[in-house]
Amino acid sequence: MRLLGTVLKQINKPAVYSTHRRRLSSRATGGPSPLRDEAPVVGSNRELVLSLGLQVEVRTGFITEEEEAALLQELEPGLRRKRYEFDHWDDAIHGYRETERVTWGAACEEILTRVRSAAFPEGSSLLGPVHVLDLDKAGYIKPHIDSIKFCGSTIAGLSLLSDSIMRLVKEDDSSEWLDLLLSRRSLYILRDQARYQYTHEILKDEESVFNGQKVPRQRRISVICRNLPG
C-alpha cells in the first residue's frame, strides 16, 4: 500500500448524489434504518460521480441477517484468538486484526460465490485466500492506494456488523472526492481508476459523516475478495 501523508478532508463541501442507486436486495431483512433512503455514493461534483459510476459500486442489503450470522460464526473463533494491533507494516491501518481464509462451509461459500459473480467477469483469475479485516470501534484505515504487487484491478468487500464511510480522494487533486455509504451487510466494488488513481480510507467514528448525517461506527468486519494482478 502507498500511504499519502496528508489528504484534504471534504466533509463540509457540497455533495452530489449519485444518479445510480441500487435498490435493497430482496434478500435484505431487518428493521428500518434512517440511512436506508440515502443514495450510497456522493461526490465533489456530478461529473466525477458519473465518470466513476461503473468503477465504484455499492450494493445495499447484499446479504441477509442470517447470512451475516453464518459468516460471523465461521470467523469469530479465529479472530478472538488475535489481539487488535495499532501498528501496521506501512502505517495504513490502526486498531485492527486480520486473517486469510481459504476453506469455508457450504453456506458461506455460496455467499462468496455470489460476491465473485457480482464483482468479477467469468473466468477471472482470483486471489485464492479471502482477506478478513476486523476493525475495532476505535480503529480506522488511513488514505492509501493498494500496491499492484498484491492484487489486481478489482476489489469487492462485504461489510459486517456496522455501517461505515469509505472516502476516495484523487491522488493528484484532493478537491476530487467520493464518499461511499457502506451500510451493514452491503457489498462494495472498486475497479480500475477508482483503485489506482484514488486513495481510499475508512473514516474514524468521530469523522463518520455522510452527506451531513452522522453515521455511528461500531466494530466492523470486512470480507474481501480480489483478483490477481494482470
- pLDDT, tens digit, for every residue of 35-65? 445 689 999 999 999 999 889 999 999 999 9
Give residue 220's pLDDT: 98
pLDDT of 2 reads 41
Report which of residues 184 and 17 the model is more confident about: 184
Please tell me the least confidently modeled range out of 4-18, 99-113, 144-158, 206-220: 4-18
On whether residue 4 sits in a domain, the answer given is no
What local confidence, expressed as pLDDT, does residue 54 receive? 85
Q: Is 17 within a domain?
A: no
**pLDDT, tens digit, for every residue of 65-108?**
999 999 999 999 999 999 999 876 667 899 999 999 999 999 99
Span 126-184, pLDDT tens digits: 998 999 999 999 999 999 988 777 789 999 999 999 999 999 999 999 999 999 999 99
Q: Say what the pLDDT of residue 146 is.
A: 82
**pLDDT (0 to 100) of residue 208:** 97
Which segments of the chain does DSSP mark as H helices, in order?
Answer: 46-51, 65-80, 106-119, 193-196
* Number of domains the chain contains: 1
7 falls within a domain: no
Domain that holds residue 189: 41-227
Spatial CB neighbours of 169, under 8 Å, sequence gap ≥ 6? 7, 8, 10, 143, 176, 177, 198, 199
Model confidence at 187: pLDDT above 80: yes
Q: Which residues, including other chains, have CB under 8 Å from residue 206's CB and lie 6 or more apart?
A: none
Q: Does some domain include residue 171? A: yes
Residue 92, in any domain of the structure: yes
CATH number at residue 221: 2.60.120.590
pLDDT at 23 over 60: no
Any domain includes 131: yes
Does residue 31 lie in a domain region?
no
Give domain status of residue 202, yes or no: yes
- According to the model, what pLDDT value does residue 25 have? 38
